[in-house]
Structures are given as C-alpha cells and as structure tokens.
A and B are shown apart, each in its own frame.
Chain A
Amino acid sequence: MINFQQVSKTYPGGHTALEKVDFHLKTGELAFLTGHSGAGKSTLLKLISVMERPSAGNVMINGVDLNSISKTQVPFVRRDIGMIFQNHRLLARHNVFDNVALPLVIEGMHRKNITKRVHAALDKVGLLNKVKCYPETLSGGEQQRVGIARAIVNSPPILLADEPTGNLDPELSWEILKLFEDFNRHGTTVLIATHDLGLIARMKYHNLTLNKGKLLLDPLKADIS
C-alpha cells in the first residue's frame, strides 16, 4: 500500500531528514513509526501526504508514484488519507459537527448524507453527545477523538497519525490505540508515529524505527511479512 523506495529528503539549508528510506507497508497493516524527536518521523508522514516532496527516490501509494502527482492533484490524494495530529488541528470557530463534516463538505456531499456519516463517525469515537460543542469546551482526549472522527468520516483507505497520544495519559492513550486497532480490523492501513515506546511494547505490530533519518532493522519484520 505504502511503498518507499530509496527515499531521501534534504531540506533547503542542507539538513538531511531522511536518508535512503526503504520499506513497504502492506494493505490492511497497522504499523508504528518510532524514533527520537528529529529522527524524521514527521518528514516521513509529510512525504506520504504530499506536504513535502522527496529529494530522491519514490514514494508509492497503491502503485501510484507520488512524484507524478501534480500540484492541482494533491488535494485529491489527501482525500484518500485520513490524518490525525498531535495538536488536533480542529477549527476553533466551528462546532464538533462542522469539524467532522469538513472532509465531506469539501467533497461536495449532500447535506443529508453528511449528517448520517458524521453521526456514525462520532458514534464510533463515542462523542455523539458532543455534536454541538465547540472544540475548546472539550477535554484533550475528546478533542483528539474529534480529530480521529474527522480523519475517518470519509472512510479513507489509509490513516496516518502523528503522535496521536502525545498529550494524553496512558489510559486515554490506550483507548485511542484501541480505536486505531478497530479501524485496522475493518481493512484500513494505519501508520502511527509515536515515541511512546511503552505503549507499543504491549502490542505486537510492525515497527519502523528511524534514527537520524535512517531506518533501523525491524525485529518484528520477520514475523509479520
């Protein structure tokens, strides 16, 4: 599903964020992306969501080379990728419903269907009773779940999460991870960047570890692929 082929990324100014990264995440897989701050986790996710372009190598999604995607096509790529951020990135001026509905509104879906889907997504994350609330009135864990509902509302085949449990206590983090597991069971390919190693240790999943822009060997790789 997500295939990196000798991908390097050097930022203007000479900082090398990724160096010859090579991996293949298969359809329906759930994997963690770990490493210290500045190891290149965010850069790797940005390359998948076409916020950055690789300096060398190819990023393929479902067999399509992202280098061949033009600027005007980028929004359509992003519609196939659900993204979850550490700081939620919700729209403060809009309520929970409008926040979750945003991807559907952008696609031009009919109002009737939007309501149905938003309610289904909020139900999945257990926030159906907060439809009319504004993000700032919610707790951190709730805000994160709204962000997750927005990412899955149009049922994308790929889900990317950047430090989704960054600000949450272990119990809430565990709940969030359970949510991701649930989506994965329904066939979504999930990639979660995190430095919460204790959390990962409890779960037996594919683990990509970045160190100074290089991918370390994955001890679990043999078991999974």
Chain B
Amino acid sequence: MSLLFKSRMSQASNTDTSLVMTWYFIVLNIMRQGVHSLGEIWRTTTASMMTVAVLGVSLTLPTTLYLVVKNVQQVSSGFENASEISLFVKQGLPDKETKSLVKRLKLYPEISDVTYISNEVALEEFKQVSGFGQALDYLDSNPLPSVISVTPTKRHSKPETARKLLIKLESEREIDFGKLDIEWLERLNALLSLLRESVITIAFLLLTSVILIIGNTIRLSIMDKKEEIQVMKLVGATNQFIQTPFLWTGIWYGIIGGFFAYICIELMMWWLGSAISEVAGVYQAEFLLQGLSFFEFTNLIVLAVLLGLFGSYLSVKRYIKTIEPDKI
C-alpha cells in the first residue's frame, strides 16, 4: 500500500489480494530470510562457531549436573525400601517379658519376620568382630541392649509406611527406641535436593551469560552491517524487515549450540560409560548410565533456541532503530 499515492498499489500485492496469499508470502519471506541468515553464518564460520561453542559449553555444564542428579536418583530409588527396623529393648527387662514381646510382634500384620538378638549374643558377636576380645571380659555388666530386628512386609517397607510402623512399635512398653535403616537414604535425598538447587542456580547464571554473549555478538554484527542497514532504510525497509535476519541468526545459534551441547554430553557419557560399569561390577550391581531422553533433548534444543532468540532480540531492539541514514 502506498501512503502518498492512493492509486499506486504496492508492487507486491497487486496480483494477490486474498488474505491467505498475503500471509503465505509473509511466511515465505520470513523462511527465505531464515535460510539466508544460515548462509550468512556459513560465510563467517569462525566467528559464528565461537559463539556457538560458548553457547554449547554453557548448556553442557548444567545439563551434565542434571544428568548426575537424575542418575543418582535412579541409584537411590533401588534402595528406597526399608529392609529392617531395629528395636532396642529396655535394659534390665526380664527374659520372659522379652519373649512375649517377640511373640506379640510376630502377630503384627505389617511384619513379615522377627529376629531376636539377646544382649549376650550381641556381646559375643561384638567380641569376635571388634577384636577387643579379652578386654571386654573386664566389664562388670553387659552394656549392650537386646535387639529385635524386624522386617516389614513389602507393603509396609516404603519410607512413610515404615516410619508409621516404627512409631507404632516404639509405643510398645518394653521398647526403648527404634531405628529405621533408611535414614542414610534421607540424608542422601537431602544432599540430592541441595545439588538440584545448585544446578538451577548455576544454570541460571550460565544461561544469563549466554543471553549476554549472544546479544553482544549480534550487536557486533549489526554494527558491522551499519552501512547496509542505512541503505536498506533508504530504500524503504522497515525495522521489522531489517531485524528478521538478526533474529534468525540468534535462532540458528541456539539450534547449533544445542546440538553442540548434546554431542558434548554424548561424548562424555561414552567416555564415562566404561568406568561406571567397572564400578558397578565391583559392587555387583546392575547399573545403566542414563542419558538424555528424547523429550529432554527437545527441551534442551528449545531452551537453546529461546536463549538465542532472546539474546538477539535484546540487541536488535536496542540498536537497529538507532541506525539512521543521516548522511547522503
């Protein structure tokens, strides 16, 4: 459409007037500019690859940490069930009462197995294992409590249900206190969540720097093309038209940088794979290192593209409108 000459149709739209065709051409043009800017990246390979590498490495680090968290979680989920609850019997309880307690415990529906370890047996065991042997003979009385080892049924060995069972057992009159052997697991989980938090923090910092780096690269490229932009403005280009190729450059940086990160991670996985299977062999455990799933991979790429787009958008918004064709 012409502003000054109402009768003068735009050179572009004088043949196609339908809305669909207009949109089709707009999309076609944007795509054309996309391909064009990919060609531009290809022509300035070195500079572009450096930016892409920065983006890729910056994405690799948080993604690796994420994978570490994911794999540790996978390992710990295998141990999540409480296999045993140790109940310490009150000191000085007569044998008879202890025996009746064991009998009572055996009747609990939540319990599949009960083993009684009397304090004498425990002391004997301790003598053998610790190597103090004779020294322990000098003790006046046996300092060890009697222990009842309880194995919950499958249904009651989940962390929460096992905890409930423990509370119930501790309320038994004869019991001093009980211990659940999943406490180490809870500590691990706490550590894991700490790690997860730090992944988020580190990722946030790195991704911010990625946006700034891409923004700066695009700014340099805008300055480099200053004259070209002036000429384009002289022949009637809108800011929109001028900024599209730069936005595309950001998108391409994102896509290529995302793939770069993916390749880095795959290489790392391959490198660590043999070492990890060795460790797993020593522990006689079945362990498969988990890589990125397809969903996670697409997320990585989408994130990279968004970062690239946002970085270039910041520069484009700021600088393109300041370049004016002031000198003829």
Binding site for B on A (CB under 8 A): 42, 45-46, 49, 51, 61-62, 64, 69, 72-73, 75-80, 83, 85-86, 89-91, 93, 102-104, 106-110, 113, 117, 150, 154-155, 157, 162
The interface residues of chain B lying within 8 Å CB-to-CB of A154 are 11
Q: Is the CB of A108 within 8 A of B235?
A: no
Taking the closest CB of chain A, its distance from the CB of B295, in whole angstroms, is: 38
Q: Mark B1-42, 1 if CB is under 8 A from A, else 0.
A: 111110010111001000000000110010000000000000
Q: Is the CB of B4 within 8 A of A106?
A: no
Residues of chain B from 235 to 289 with CB closer than 8 A to chain A in the complex: 235-238, 241
Taking the closest CB of chain A, its distance from the CB of B188, in whole angstroms, is: 59
The interface residues of chain B lying within 8 Å CB-to-CB of A79 are 2, 10, 235-236
Q: Is the CB of B231 within 8 A of A75?
A: no
Query: 25 pairs across A/B with beta carbons < 8 Å?
Result: A61-B4, A64-B3, A72-B238, A75-B236, A75-B237, A76-B236, A79-B235, A80-B2, A80-B4, A83-B235, A89-B230, A89-B231, A89-B234, A91-B231, A102-B235, A103-B236, A104-B11, A106-B241, A107-B236, A108-B26, A108-B29, A110-B12, A113-B11, A117-B11, A154-B11
Taking A78-B234, A89-B231 as contacts, is the C-beta distance between A69 and B324 under 8 angstroms?
A: no
Q: Mark B147-171, 1 if CB is under 8 A from A, else 0.
A: 0000000000000000000000000
The interface residues of chain A lying within 8 Å CB-to-CB of B8 are 80, 157
The interface residues of chain A lying within 8 Å CB-to-CB of B12 are 104, 107-110
The docked-state distance in angstroms from the alpha carbon of A183 to that of B238 is 27
Taking A64-B3, A107-B12 as contacts, is the C-beta distance between A102 and B232 under 8 angstroms?
A: yes
The interface residues of chain A lying within 8 Å CB-to-CB of B234 are 49, 78, 83, 89
The docked-state distance in angstroms from the alpha carbon of A110 to that of B24 is 11
The interface residues of chain A lying within 8 Å CB-to-CB of B228 are 91, 93
Taking the closest CB of chain B, its distance from the CB of A146, in whole angstroms, is: 12
Q: Is the CB of A85 within 8 A of B328?
A: yes
Taking the closest CB of chain A, its distance from the CB of B194, in whole angstroms, is: 51
Q: Mark B306-328, 1 if CB is under 8 A from A, else 0.
A: 00000000000000000011101
Taking A46-B328, A78-B234 as contacts, is the C-beta distance between A109 and B11 under 8 angstroms?
A: yes
Is B70 an interface residue, CB under 8 A from the partner? no
Closest 9 CB pairs of A and B: A79-B236, A78-B236, A109-B12, A107-B12, A108-B12, A103-B235, A106-B237, A75-B238, A76-B3
The docked-state distance in angstroms from the alpha carbon of A72 to that of B238 is 8
The docked-state distance in angstroms from the alpha carbon of A76 to that of B235 is 9
The docked-state distance in angstroms from the alpha carbon of A102 to that of B231 is 10
Q: Is the CB of A42 within 8 A of B328?
A: yes
Which of B1, B11, B234, B235: most chain A CB closer than 10 A? Answer: B235
Taking the closest CB of chain B, its distance from the CB of A195, in whole angstroms, is: 14
The interface residues of chain A lying within 8 Å CB-to-CB of B127 are none
The interface residues of chain B lying within 8 Å CB-to-CB of A113 are 11, 15
Is B233 an interface residue, CB under 8 A from the partner? yes
The docked-state distance in angstroms from the alpha carbon of A109 to that of B25 is 8
The docked-state distance in angstroms from the alpha carbon of A61 to that of B8 is 14
The interface residues of chain B lying within 8 Å CB-to-CB of A72 are 238
Query: Nearest residue in A to B321 (C-beta to C-beta)?
Result: A71
Residues of chain B from 213 to 239 with CB closer than 8 A to chain A in the complex: 227-228, 230-238
Given contacts A86-B328, A89-B234, 11 further A-B contacts (CB under 8 A): A62-B5, A64-B3, A69-B3, A72-B238, A75-B238, A78-B233, A79-B10, A108-B25, A108-B29, A113-B15, A155-B11
Taking the closest CB of chain A, its distance from the CB of B32, in whole angstroms, is: 8
The interface residues of chain B lying within 8 Å CB-to-CB of A77 are 3-4, 236
Query: Nearest residue in A to B43 (C-beta to C-beta)?
Result: A93
Contact of B328 among A75, A110, A150, A162 (CB under 8 A): A162
Q: Is the CB of A45 within 8 A of B328?
A: yes
Taking the closest CB of chain B, its distance from the CB of A19, in whole angstroms, is: 20
Q: Is the CB of B235 within 8 A of A78?
A: yes
Taking the closest CB of chain A, its distance from the CB of B11, in whole angstroms, is: 5
Taking A45-B328, A76-B2 as contacts, is the C-beta distance between A110 and B236 under 8 angstroms?
A: no
